[in-house]
Structure 1
Amino acid sequence: MTKDGEPFVGKSHGEDFTRVTFIPDLDKFKMSELEDDIIALMSKRAYDVAGATKGVKVYLNGKLLPVRIIMIKFGLFENSSM
């Protein structure tokens, strides 16, 4: 949060997409690793985005989160809203 670098914008080979990655500044918060509750919070946010955003694929740790499909199956979203 105190250091920033130049963004990397690479050439696309295939579908258009946006990848967002980050490296936490553990020293800033006097941590040696991310705590489980912080990882759980970040994971929840990824699921929130996957469930609330149509037309995007959300991956967490390299795995696709099929949240919208599950929500439609259980009647939390109408299929036409996808």
Structure 2
Amino acid sequence: MTKDGEPFVGKSHGEDFTRVTFIPDLDKFKMSELEDDIIALMSKRAYDVAGATKGVKVYLNGKLLPVRIIMIKFGLFVNSPM
């Protein structure tokens, strides 16, 4: 949060996409590793984005989160056009 660096923009090979990654500054929060509740919170946010965002593929730890497909299949959207 207080350390920043130049963004890395790599070459694209194939489809256009944007990959967002980060390395948390554990020292800033006086942590030696990410705690289970923080990992669970970040994972939940990834599932939230996967379920609520049309036209994107969300991966968590290298695995595609098929949440939106499941939600469409079972009609779990409220007030949302299918």
Q: Is TM more than 0.5 here?
A: yes
Name the CA distance, whole Å, in 1 between partners of 2:24 and 2:78: 37
Task: Name the CA shift for 1:76/1:27 in 2 (closer, same or farther; >3 Å).
Answer: same
User: Structure 1: which 5+ residue stretches go unaligned?
Assistant: none
Moved over 3 A (4+): 77-82
Q: CA deviation at 1:77?
A: 3.4
Q: How many residues matched? A: 82
Give the SS at the match of 2:80.
Answer: helix
State the match for 1:57 in structure 2: 57
TM-score normalised over the length of structure 1: 0.91
Give the SS at the match of 1:6.
Answer: coil
Q: Which has the higher contact order (CA 8 A, sep 6+)?
A: 1
TM-score normalised over the length of structure 2: 0.91
* Residue range with higher mean Cα deviation, 67-76 or 38-47: 67-76
Identity %: 98
